[in-house]
Amino acid sequence: MHKLILALACCSAAATQAAPYIPASGQLVVETVPRRGDPAQQELRRLRSQLNASPNDITLAATIARRYIALARSETDPRYLGYAESALAPWWQQAAPPTDVRLLRATLLQSTHQFTPALADLKAVLASEPQNVQAWLTQATVQTVQGDYSGATVSCARVSGLSIELVGITCIANIGAVTGKAAASEQLLDLTLSRSSNAPQDLRVWALTLLAEMAQRRGDATTSEARFRRALTLSPRDSYLLGAYADLLLEQNRAADVLELLRDQERIDALLLRRALALQQAGKQSAMQADVRELAARFDAAAQRGDTVHQREQARFELVLRHDAKTALALARKNWEVQKEPADIRIYLQAAVQARADARPVIEWVATHHTEDAAATRLIHQLQAGT
């Protein structure tokens, strides 16, 4: 079950990817380094030392990679993903590495939105190990993000037959929530979670976060906030969860609460963006402009690296903070080619409204899949009304 959590870890890890950060002053504290006496760090140093002595020890390398992926989630630190890849270096470029390495490579590729090679690795793993629940779950996650709901449904069905109830129901509810079955999916997931108190903590956080987003999309802010807060008591450092809750608070014009929630989280691009939005909402122009400059530098650095992971966040940055609807819409369109989650729908529609432009691909997608989202529905009505 612990290995299964890696599939969830990579989902959040993508949100934590950050461009190189150059501090404005040598007096600024950039990072608090883990204490050398931390038992987890001591154990990792010991294992790394062993791996340095035996770099082709595949069992040891896979163990280290899994631990680094788990740390990337728990510490919201994307550098650990690089460390995980480094541990797998002897096999990373192989066309057909051993199964354990191939699954870990798929997990890491997904975290940087390299979905095509990730899916190729997953299909190869499942061809040789059709009972590999982690591979099925990771594949379902990628398929759902890409909008391949029929494929994701098949993958989730396999997950249901191989894992505990909460995993299978959360997997399938994530699809139902965006394919016209939102109410039934939310009810079933809520019931399943209530009788899964002994499920691993990360799984309960995953389910609670999804439930919070379901309530938010149907316009029930009170229920959504209660679920976000429950999830945060279990995982207060989860960067995806912090960003999603911050978005709910921003919708309610609760800038002060966002600033408190995201205190000392500016290293993570997605959370720095939300802090800048809260500062804008609070009328703190000087502080907001400082964040805008920092975000611009990070997005520029990402572009120079060819990193397109943050196109959704960058589109929002251009639209709301820079008031450049044309650039925002171009970014939203590029992002739409890669992923089709509810947040991708909203930013595309928001940019189209501001740019007074066509959003036919998204409108048709929503209609075809019966996607239920109160905010998206309002934006579509605005576009159709020409306002």
Question: Read out DSSP for 296-364?
Answer: HHHHHHHHHHT--TTHHHHHHIIIIIS--HHHHHHHHHHHHHH---HHHHHHHHHHHHHHT---HHHHH
* Residues 313, 16 contacting (CB under 8 angstroms): no
Q: C-alpha 359: how far from its chain's center? A: 24
Using alpha carbons, select from 5, 205, 208, 175 the residue that is nearest to residue 107.
5
Q: Which of 132, 153, 182 is the last residue of a domain?
A: 132
Strand runs labelled E in the chain: none
What is the value of pTM for the model shown? 0.87
Query: Residue 213 domain-assigned?
Result: no
Q: C-alpha 265: how far from its chain's center? A: 16
Q: Which of 110, 132, 154 is the last residue of a domain?
A: 132
Query: Residue 199 domain-assigned?
Result: no
Q: Which of 15-24, 281-290, 366-375 has the lowest mean pLDDT?
A: 15-24
Q: φ, ψ for residue 12 (rounded to 5)?
A: -80, -30
CATH number, residue 94: 1.25.40
Of all residues in the chain, the percent with pLDDT exceeding 70 is: 89
Rg (CA), the chain: 21
Query: Residue 275 domain-assigned?
Result: no
Query: Sign of the C-alpha dihedral, residues 158, 160, 163, 167?
Result: positive
Q: How many domains does the chain fold into?
A: 2
96-112, pLDDT tens digit by residue?
999 999 999 999 999 88
Q: 83 is in which domain, residue-wise?
A: 1-16+38-132
Region 37-62 average pLDDT: 88
Residue 9 has pLDDT above 70, yes or no: no
Residue 290 has pLDDT above 60, yes or no: yes
Q: What is the C-alpha to C-alpha distance for residues 98 and 32, in angstroms, rounded to an integer?
A: 36
* Residues 302, 310 contacting (CB under 8 angstroms): yes
Residue that is written with structure tokens 């029929």 in the block: 150
Query: Residue 155 domain-assigned?
Result: no
